[in-house]
Structure 1
Amino acid sequence: MLQFLLRRSIGAVVILILISAFTFFLFFSIPQDPALLACGKNCTPDAIKIIHQNLGLDKPVPVQYWNFMVGIFAGRDFAVGHCSAPCFGYSFANNQPVWNTIVDRFPTTLSLTVGGAFVFLLVGLGTGMLAAWKRGTAVDKTFSSVSLVLSSMQIYFLGPIVLGLLVYSTDILSSPKYVPFTENPGQWFVGLLIPWIVLSVIFTANYTRMSRSTMIEQLQEEHVRTAKAKGMSSRYVFFRYAWRGSLIPIVTIFGMDLGSLFGGAIITEQTFSLAGIGRLAVESVIKTDLPMIMGVMLFSAFMILLFNIIVDAAYAWIDPRVRLS
């Protein structure tokens, strides 16, 4: 296990370096001087020159990239002060430390992801396994049909409809907003309830279909049929053998979905005006804010790679036939 984790960690570091290099050099191919953004309206050539010096933009691009990578691990010194590691620089738009901004935005994304993932995983697995258990019955056909329809929905389409029905028309719920859990757990729950509902509806449909198909496939495996032939009850065989074997593809897509959501649920946060990592990514691209773009990109990539490693390590625990080597 230790060798596997070390191997995957080294591979993840290489991927992050490649992503950072690609993003960094792609940014400088844009014919726009980032100093103009930091300069503001009353901008003069002398002011632009000073900004270039303060932000290190007067150096060659490879040197800027090297300084950026060194700053992540060792920190950097800027004209505005010292930036402690992990240092992604200062935003061109507001001169705030990039890492501090990401840390401030992350609780919103964390709350959105954890709540939504809990709902869609619980409901999706439950309905999918019930459909497999009742295969061919009205229950199976109902769940399969509903999941097929819901899987075709998109957040930017379903979100405004739910807002219109539950907020603007009936006032059943208030507009979505993030309130820290430590300040008011009740408002935290109510403020994120609508995004959780919409997020879970979209993802639940996929998990229902996936869990149903994998469970039906597992029920046809030889070891499952052998267990039934030995006189074991259908319920015991279902949960002891078929259910565990069906988890591997579920864990795969769950890890990818969770990593992507932790890296920023862009469409969801934009739809419900939640100030999370995803919305920060959109804002930084619109403003051509390189330090913020780099920080968000590397943070999102790190979360996706981290959960992929966790998923691969979980395979051996779920199915003893899987060997990490």
Structure 2
Amino acid sequence: MIRFLAGRLGFAALVLFCLSAFVFLLFFVAPGDPARMVAGDKATEAQLIQIRSNLGLDRPILVQYASFLSRAATGDLGFSYRNQQPVASLILNRIPATVSLVVGGTLLWLAIGIPIGVMSACHVGGLRDRIGQSFILIGLSFPTFVLGMMSLYLFYFLPRQAGFTLFPPGGYKPLLADPLVWAWHLVLPWTTLVLVTAAIYARLTRGQLLQVLGEDYIRTARAKGLSERVVVYRHALRATLTPLVTQLGADIALLLGGAIVIEQVYGLQGVGALAVQAVKNQDRPIIIGVVLLGGLFIVIANIAVDLLYVVLDPRLR
């Protein structure tokens, strides 16, 4: 187990090293003036000279990269001259909104998607299967932004026209200030995220479970007289968790890197909204910081998925 974990950590370090090298080459070695890219077109010559000195652009490339890597490893992601704030502080201020959206959405889409997939697989061709298939089809057919706009129209605009407020149009409220207000502001974003993602997990669960239910050991378990509930949930469902864990790790990592569409639709000032704003303003330090943070989330998620494989599959142990 220790050798397995050490190998995964070594591979994760290699991936992060390659990502940092790619980002450094893209922004600091590619043709153009890196200081001008960082400061923007309105920077004065004195500011450019100061930025070149701060970034060490007059030093050899390898020395610049070593300095860039050491700063990133200690959490120093650079300085946003357009916002006059450190990039790490800007990202840390936006992370609570993104984490709240992702954690709440994850719990809800698992609680909805997996039971629907199980119900559909256990009643193939029946009414419950058709209901499950309809949910999957509807969830996969609607783009996220369309569901978001529909939710705002049905649950915010129309009630406001009638003279009352059912849900707020968006925005993020801190959890510690008032948990109820925090959840109230996230109901519509959660719903939008869950309807799309739960359909994916329902389809994946149904397909994997149908395959497992035809295995020999499932027929043996039924022949021993075990109840269908025990056969499905104790034996069959556990074998389907491996692809679900793989999908879950990828989804969480990508969303933590920035749920761009949902944050834009509902005005959640999260990491995704910060990335969009940085791209519009050509704020390179923030773009670099968000890219590195997204890579870190993906690497951590992959390590967690590999460890869960060992827990779920005795053959790996």
TM-score greater than 0.5 by the shorter chain: yes
Q: CA deviation at 1:36?
A: 6.8
Q: CA deviation at 1:177?
A: 1.3
Question: Deviation per CA, 1:188-234, whole angstroms, max 9, x where unpaired?
Answer: 00111110000000101111111111111111111000111122222
Q: CA deviation at 1:55?
A: 4.2
1:108 is aligned to 97
Task: Name the amino acid aligned to 2:198.
Answer: T
State whether structure 2 residue 110 is matched by structure 1 residue 121.
Answer: yes
**CA–CA distance in structure 1, aligned partners of residues 201 and 212 of structure 2:** 16
Further displaced range: 49-58 or 31-40: 31-40
State whether structure 2 residue 36 is matched by structure 1 residue 35.
Answer: yes
2:207 is aligned to 213
Change (3 A) 1:278 1:17: same
Equivalent residues of 2:104, 2:190 under 8 A apart? yes
Task: Name the amino acid aligned to 1:22.
Answer: F
Change (3 A) 1:245 1:46: closer
Change (3 A) 1:25 1:140: same
DSSP 3-state at the match of 2:80: coil
Equivalent residues of 1:214, 1:246 under 8 A apart? yes
Equivalent residues of 1:155, 1:268 under 8 A apart? yes
Q: CA deviation at 1:254?
A: 0.9
In structure 1, which of residues 185, 193, 200 is the aligned counterpart of residue 187 of structure 2? 193
Equivalent residues of 2:105, 2:190 under 8 A apart? yes
Larger relative contact order, structure 1 or 2 (CA cutoff 8 Å, min sep 6): 2
**CA–CA distance in structure 2, aligned partners of residues 23 and 180 of structure 1:** 33
Equivalent residues of 1:88, 1:295 under 8 A apart? yes
Sequence identity (%): 38
In structure 1, which of residues 139, 150, 154 is the aligned counterpart of residue 128 of structure 2? 139
State whether structure 2 residue 158 is matched by structure 1 residue 169.
Answer: yes
Further displaced range: 164-173 or 244-253: 164-173
Further displaced range: 14-23 or 89-98: 89-98
Equivalent residues of 1:34, 1:288 under 8 A apart? no
Further displaced range: 259-268 or 24-33: 24-33
Equivalent residues of 2:109, 2:194 under 8 A apart? yes
1:247 is aligned to 241
Correspondence 1:20-169 to 2 at 5 A: 20-28=20-28, 29=30, 31=32, 34-35=35-36, 38=39, 41=42, 43-73=43-73, 85-169=74-158
DSSP 3-state at the match of 1:246: helix
Q: CA deviation at 1:2?
A: 1.6
**CA–CA distance in structure 2, aligned partners of residues 24 and 115 of structure 1:** 35
1:227 is aligned to 221
Number of positions where the alignment pairs a residue of Structure 1 with one of Structure 2: 311
Question: Deviation per CA, 1:248-269, whole angstroms, max 9, x where unpaired?
Answer: 1111101111111122212221
Equivalent residues of 2:109, 2:197 under 8 A apart? yes
Q: CA deviation at 1:40?
A: 7.1
In structure 2, which of residues 275, 280, 289 is the aligned counterpart of residue 286 of structure 1? 280
State whether structure 2 residue 260 is matched by structure 1 residue 266.
Answer: yes
Query: Structure 1 length as normaliser, TM-score?
Result: 0.89
Question: Deviation per CA, 1:266-308, whole angstroms, max 9, x where unpaired?
Answer: 2221222211111222222233333222221111111111111
Task: Name the amino acid aligned to 1:234.
Answer: E
Q: CA deviation at 1:49?
A: 2.4
Question: Deviation per CA, 1:130-154, whole angstroms, max 9, x where unpaired?
Answer: 1112221011012112212211221
Q: CA deviation at 1:3?
A: 1.4
Q: Where in structure 2 are there 5+ consecutive unaligned residues?
A: 161-165
Q: CA deviation at 1:183?
A: 0.4
Coordinate RMSD, CA, aligned:
1.9
Task: Name the amino acid aligned to 2:56.
Answer: G
Query: Structure 2 length as normaliser, TM-score?
Result: 0.91
**CA–CA distance in structure 1, aligned partners of residues 10 and 37 of structure 2:** 38
Q: CA deviation at 1:37?
A: 6.0
